[in-house]
Amino acid sequence: MNAVKAENLTITYEGKPALEGVDFTLDEGETLLLLGPNGAGKTTLLKTIACFHGEYTGKLEVFGREPCEARDLIGYVPQSHSLNERVPLTALEVVAMGGIYRKGFFHFKIPGATIEKASEVLGFVGLDHVADRLFSELSGGQKQRVLLARALMSDPRLLLLDEPLSALDPSARGEVAGVLNKIKRERGITMIITTHDINPLLEIGDKVMLINRRLIAFGKPGEVLQDSVIKSVYGPLARVIPVEDRLFCITGDVHIHRHGGGGR
């Protein structure tokens, strides 16, 4: 089954196109790595699939439905989480929140079944030992894994992850990439992951999409990650280097947070 299907998709903000004429299909269980320079339209595409942004023309389907009809099937992990870290929530409570908001209620006491599920999911991301620690005191990699666990609370069939590796050091990147790999292998969840550094994720990417306000390339990693394709977007210094049986992609690209604080 198609998890996501876009046909001639053009996404606009107040009539101005941010991303134009995009076609692609992602099958259930596949992982798509979404690559493109700053301002390419990566977050815009994720938000539109997640039904947070609705200004588009063309066709966009999530499991055969319009995005807003498929909302319950989608988990979204934004680039900068909107948690107020001055509120003293433990890691377990942050995860449990993923099971509460979904139901549209505000609970003063978290139901036992929700806590039980949150403990199980926290264990799945390898963080049982920090359940009672304050979220604000966790390392960057641990925080990102807690946010992944929170997104898993609603049993999504499609996970949309906006820059899950940004602002992490190389070892934390490896940890988070390991959890994403586990989600793919053990839960079979379809994922779309935006990234500026594709290398730690290449192992789990079934498909790669390169965009720059339009679709530049879409296909298997080996098809998209070619010198000529990468150079056409990132310039002459960009290149793809085969290392043993792997590819290593150098784009010289960095993440720049351009939209000011919060809200993404």
Ligand X SMILES: Nc1ncnc2c1ncn2[C@@H]1O[C@H](COP(=O)(O)OP(=O)(O)OP(=O)(O)O)[C@@H](O)[C@H]1O
**Binding-site ranges for ligand X (CB under 6 A):** 13, 18, 36, 38-44, 255-256, 258
The token duo for 44 is 């815009």
Minimum CB distance to ligand X, residue 229 (Å): 17
Minimum CB distance to ligand X, residue 149 (Å): 24
Q: Which residues pair with 246 in a beta bridge?
A: 243
Minimum CB distance to ligand X, residue 76 (Å): 14
Closest CA to 121 of 131, 111, 108, 135: 131
Q: What are phi and psi of 110, to 5 degrees?
A: -75, 130
Minimum CB distance to ligand X, residue 46 (Å): 8
Smaller CB separation from ligand X, 88 or 235: 235
Smaller CB separation from ligand X, 44 or 114: 44
Smaller CB separation from ligand X, 71 or 196: 196
User: HSE-up of 234 (CA within 13 Å, CB side)?
Assistant: 24
Smaller CB separation from ligand X, 47 or 145: 47
The token duo for 198 is 């594709």
Could you give the residue ranges of the DSSP H alpha helices within the chain? 42-49, 91-100, 112-124, 140-152, 170-182, 221-224, 227-234
Q: Residue 38 has what DSSP assignment?
A: T
- For the chain, report the end-to-end CA distance as a whole number of angstroms: 30
Smaller CB separation from ligand X, 42 or 184: 42
SS3 127: coil
Q: Which residues pair with 10 in a beta bridge?
A: 57
Minimum CB distance to ligand X, residue 134 (Å): 28
Minimum CB distance to ligand X, residue 239 (Å): 20
Smaller CB separation from ligand X, 36 or 99: 36
